[in-house]
Structure 1
Amino acid sequence: MHCNNRAMVWRTRTRQLLAAFLAALLVGAGATAVAPSAVADDPEHNLVVDLGGSHAADVLVTVYCNANPTLDSSFCSNTWTDSTGKANLYLGPGTYFVCVPASDNFQARCDFDNPAPHRVTITDPATITTISLPLVSKLTAPVTFVETYPVTWTRRQGKNAGWDYEWSAEYEYSFAQLAKNPWISTRMVNQDGVVLFETPREPAEDGFATWAGPIGGGTTSSCGFMLDVSKQHVAVTSTRFEITASVPGGSRTYSHTTPSRAGRCAKPRTLVSDSLRWAKAPQAGKVARVSVNTWPSGVKLSYRWYLNGKRMKKATKAAYRVPKSAAGRLLSVRVTGSGAKFTKSTAQITAKVKARSLGKVAKPKIHGKARVGATLRVKHKSIKGAKAGYQWFAGKKKISGATKRTVRLRPKQAGKRIKVRVTMKKKGYQTKKITSKSTAKVKR
């Protein structure tokens, strides 16, 4: 690990010296170079060039000192991106042109005929400015090959007259030679799209792999079998194994469907009742909505809404307007699915109702001179029916007793920046706290 750090430091230092040499060479040839300005609390960098992620690591970024440069003049500086695809530079005040030359992997981001997207202006050297130039891959087919093979299921006698099932799947994939940071992810779903197993995305190289695993608690039916998945009894009449291979800029997905047993199934399928989701967290006075994400088409749905366990009258649709007085109470919706091809299934979801929001409130403004002995006053927009409370601060500390709309500055506040926090309270609504901008330092 220490050796790797030394190599990284040596490479970074070599690049810095090379950049300085190129800048000096161009200045000697008549080009204009802008030197960084010295400021108090000099930061390590004040310009971040973001090329769009880790796939753009170790890419050369060039900065020209002229807002309308040419290839033959105005060179200012260059550096390489880090592991996150970002380049950090320090520049003095001025307007610059940021450019990424073409490489084997990416198209160029150097449009001298249209310089506007490349321009960046540094006004305050102590402030960090960011410019985004996401790179476009030259690879037309970064994922060259993906394939899976039929899933194999085996079973053996388990506990309580049940069966333990085990499955295995084989797959292979390959990436273009120049593809950076490739990854794969895999999952197994049943005939209704219910996910039985899945793996998160992980780094990968070209290869062939086998994925296998056991699952207990299964029971055999005349067509397929039943499995316990995420505390739900799920019917499996066929399975589909899916693999996704991807790199930034392109991906391919391949799946293979294999029946769990030969023959067609005529029996009803079992609905999975764990797929209810709130569209948004329920809020007093607002419309609450629930969606059923994974139940298949052809299912008829009915709804019943409850507040603190009490059934609401005429509340039988997918959307329900929550009473304004319901803040803090429990809202539930019970959804029942049924159909000719499915067994009947009921699911319920419950959430605590949030109070209504006061909405967006503009920042309060402080009026008056920041001087010892002077009085500062805060002005803000009022909200009908809401009471306002105040707390003044000197720096990060509260000013004792300063809880009114005005505050008189005392000698101990000298040299501190003053701000005020306004708290808006209204019955049935969420409390809103808004803090003003700080003043200049208090003068004596």
Structure 2
Amino acid sequence: MSGTTLSYLWLADNKSIKGATGPTYTPVAADRGKKIRVQVSGAKPGYMTMAKTSKEVTVGYGSIASNVPTISGTAKVGSKLTAKPGTWTAGTKLTYQWLTNGKTVSGATTSSFIPGAAQRGTVITVKVTGAKAGYTTVSKTSKATAKVATGTLTAPAPTVSGTAKVNKTLTAKPGTWTAGTKLSYQWYANGKTIAKATKTTLKLTAGHRGQKITVKVTGSKTGYTTAAKVSKATKAVAK
């Protein structure tokens, strides 16, 4: 009726919901499983106030807005991959699980993952699961990466310390390689291999006099391409 003032009261299991006195109400997690009704009262001067109550509806689980995650980074041994979950319902708690060829990688449950030698040649996906009180849990899995390629070692050129002089000892300084890399050494005189000179040090003899010395450092690690670096030459070995 024209001129009637309406007021609203929302109820959950026949109990009034504090503060819920508007024409709309959004159920919260605490309402899940409860029966919701609304009571509408109409008032107008000179008329008897009346109240009507709606039929009840049972609150079910909410639906989380979710996205299929994507993966950024290069699928390569030793290179970090990062999960990009996209936008989910505000307040959703996200968890991660990385998979290789569709199989769970034990312990790989953060938003980033570095493939190791065991993942070389496989494809990587990430599953993102979203949970929020009162909502149905949702899981989404990314598209697979390309096959994980062989890693590239961090391999600096070595240097040689010491004095290039007969009876003096030279020492190879390999620099910092990828953690876990196994290093081997080979010394050269004027570019020719010095027999059995495969340690980190070389004692110069009269046979080296007048020659320039270099050292080659070779690094190897499972899942990575073997790398070799050669130092700059010393001055010609003096007496």
Q: Do they superpose with TM above 0.5?
A: no
Structure number having the greater helix percentage:
1
TM-score, normalised via structure 2 length: 0.42
More relative contact order in 1 or in 2 (CA 8 Å, sep 6+)? 2
